[in-house]
Each structure stands twice: as structure tokens, then as C-alpha cells.
């Protein structure tokens, strides 16, 4: 089985790419997960730092995450991380 096909959705909230704030939040959260013993999703070779591993996982585009962007009026949109990475 291959990777699931992600349908192209219209990004209505925020820029069509990953912001630097979203990127830092993803890396820090994933680094904490790795530090707490979560399985690593890439071949790490000689990498030992959890932040470097989390960054490599993000750049590889293999993290199964969804970014929720919220407006002040309460409206939100869930955007798969892979869609935001494709647009960089």
C-alpha cells in the first residue's frame, strides 16, 4: 500500500504554506515526543539530537499531522501538513 492520496482543498485561512510559527511548534512538539520515547519515523543514521531528528522528519514530509488555523470569530480550517509542505 502506498501513501494515502490527499485531495487538494482550498486553503481559506492563512497563507498557502507553513508559517515559521507553525514550523517551530511542530518541531518542538515532535522533539518532545521523541525525547519521551515516541518511535522515530525516519532512518536517523548518526543523528542523536531530538530537534535535528524532528526537523528531518518535517522536511521529509512524513509526519501525519493536521494544522488547525483559527480565526478570531471562531471559524477554523483543518489543513493536512503535507499540503502546506507541497506549496513551499
Query: CA quadruple 32, 68, 1, 86: dihedral positive or negative?
Result: negative
Q: Is residue 13 part of a domain?
A: no
Write down the pTM of the prediction.
0.81
Where in 1-88 does DSSP place strands (E)? Answer: 66-70, 76-80
Domain extent for 74: 20-37+44-86
Give the chain's mean pLDDT. Answer: 88
* Closest C-alpha to 4, from 58, 87, 83: 83
Confidence of residue 1 (pLDDT cuts 50, 70, 90): very low
In a domain, 3, yes or no: no
In a domain, 67, yes or no: yes
Which phi and psi (to 5°) does residue 41 adopt? -95, 0
CATH value at residue 30: 3.90.940.10
Q: Per the structure, how many domains does the chain have?
A: 1
Residue-wise pLDDT for 5-43, tens only, equals 556 788 889 999 999 999 999 999 999 999 999 999 998
The answer as to whether 52 is a domain residue is yes
Amino acid at each position: 500500500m502506498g501513501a494515502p492520496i490527499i485531495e487538494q482543498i482550498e486553503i481559506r485561512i492563512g497563507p498557502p504554506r507553513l508559517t515559521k510559527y507553525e514550523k517551530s511548534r511542530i518541531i518542538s512538539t515532535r522533539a518532545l515526543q521523541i525525547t519521551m520515547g515516541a518511535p522515530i519515523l525516519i532512518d536517523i543514521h548518526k543523528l542523536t539530537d531530538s530537534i535535528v531528528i524532528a526537523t528531518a522528519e518535517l522536511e521529509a514530509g512524513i509526519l501525519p499531522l493536521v494544522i488547525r488555523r483559527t480565526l478570531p470569530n471562531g471559524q477554523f480550517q483543518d489543513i493536512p501538513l503535507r499540503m502546506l509542505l507541497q506549496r513551499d
